[in-house]
Structure 1
Amino acid sequence: MARRPDHPVEPLFVDRWSPRSFTAEPVPDAVLLSAFEAARWAPSASNAQPWRFLIARHGDAHWEDFVGLLAPRNALWASRASALIVVLSVLQVERRGEIVANVSHSFDTGAAWTNFAHQALLLGWHTHGIGGFDRAAARERLAVPEDHAVEMIVALGRLGSLDTLHPEFHAGESPSGRRPLDETVFAGRLGLPAFASERNAA
């Protein structure tokens, strides 16, 4: 089912979705470098750029370590991705010569992941963010320092047909919708309509 925005946006924003069916074909360096370059230009507080990425490609020396971090249900489909990327963020930042806590490390890293996902889509590749994995095991197995947060894992691959996907996931393999803006944007306080059209409707 085609997504239809309520207000004008570039197609990129509604075309991006999170499939689980992947072809497992190799992803070229050029695609990864372009997607990571897009991530590099994300905004961040004090230009700290707290995001860090660890990557494993399907079948390489790191692949089984990355797949082994996933919750079993996620491993059923993500093991057919072309790459798995562990997203980290640095917890501290230098400001005026002092090392302090970076309270926006996760927020800023989210912006970088969004850039990555959209650039990958422009090149014909899909991504799916994964929260269901063992973070403690990721920190230990991948030697992640304590001053880094383990944020998420991203599966990247070419969109595959349903016959590449475990039957358990077939019913949900389509783009999801979004709640309307009047349920997410408010004027000064939660529950107060932000736009005249909403106030009139009320």
Structure 2
Amino acid sequence: MKELREDVEGKRNAEYEISPLFLNRYSPRALERDMNQEDLMALFEAARWAPSSYNNQSWRFMYATYEDQEWEDFCSLMNDFNRDWAEKGYALVVVASKTTFDHNGEESITHSFDTGAAWENLALEAARRDLVAHGMQGFDYKKAKEVLDIPEGFEVEAMVAIGSKGDESELPEDMRVEPNGRKDMDEIVAQGSFDF
């Protein structure tokens, strides 16, 4: 991906030269189902290659597509606001992370950090393919653990709605998402100490 997409151009500007892929990735809520299982598996493949402490690969992705019997179980996890837009997508994913290391059973302090890297890989691959991967926290974490039989030793991290891009203008005003900016570098980066 060598250039900014039309929906992003003029709305996002980097202070330093980076790949347009990072600016093209954002989280619209207008979803459609114009993708397939191979597209979805490619997103998980990108996630699979994320870095992790001791190569533990703590992340676990449980999903259902709108064609699956489990679709309603996944939809029932979301709050009403998220369900209204997310159930129009192709797939719903619950992301969990293993809290211990495979090689010695000890606590993995970076399990969430590493799983976040895997999620970012998935999101960037979705952007590269002009698909949407919209992460969210507006769902019932406890119910997700129960409904999806997630065992002890795993922490539910987030939920993701995946689909092709729809038309934002067809959504109610309060659901529409535009590409937004980011904090200035000096608000997130400090040399030497916590100087913000």
Work out whether the TM-score is over 0.5.
Answer: yes
Q: Does 1:28 align with 2:36?
A: yes
Cα offset, 1:188, TM superposition = 1.5
C-alpha separation in 1, matches of 2:45 and 2:67: 24
1:52-67 to 2 correspondences below 5 Å: 52-67=60-75
Counterpart position of 1:195: none
Question: Among 175, 188, 191, which residue is 1:187 paired with?
Answer: 191
1:117 and 2:140 aligned: no
Deviation at 1:58, TM superposition (A): 1.4
Give the SS at the match of 2:106: strand
Paired with 1:116 and 1:180, the residues of 2 have a C-alpha distance of 25
* Identity among equivalent pairs (%): 40
Runs of 4+ deviating beyond 6 Å: none
| 1:1-202 correspondence runs (5 A) | 1-23=10-32, 25-95=33-103, 98-170=104-176, 173-191=177-195
**Alignment size in residue pairs:** 187
Which ranges of structure 1 fall in alignment gaps of 5 or more residues? 193-202
Larger Rg: 1
Question: Are the aligned partners of 2:11 and 2:180 in contact in 1 as well (CA < 8 Å)?
Answer: no
Separation of aligned partners in 1, 2:130 and 2:195? 39
Deviation, structure 1 residue 164: 4.0
* 1:152-186 deviation per Cα after TM superposition (whole angstroms, max 9, x unaligned): 0011111111354234313xx20111001011110
Structure 2 unaligned segments of length 5 or more: list them: 1-9
TM-score (norm 1): 0.88
Q: Distance in 2 between matches of 1:67 and 1:94?
A: 31
The answer (yes or no) to whether the contact 1:21–1:77 under 8 Å persists in 2 is yes
CA distance in 1, matches of 2:80, 2:168: 19
Deviation of 1:26 (Å): 4.7
Question: Structure 2-normalised TM-score?
Answer: 0.90
Using the TM superposition, give the Cα deviation of residue 54 of structure 1 relative to its aligned residue in structure 2, in angstroms: 0.4
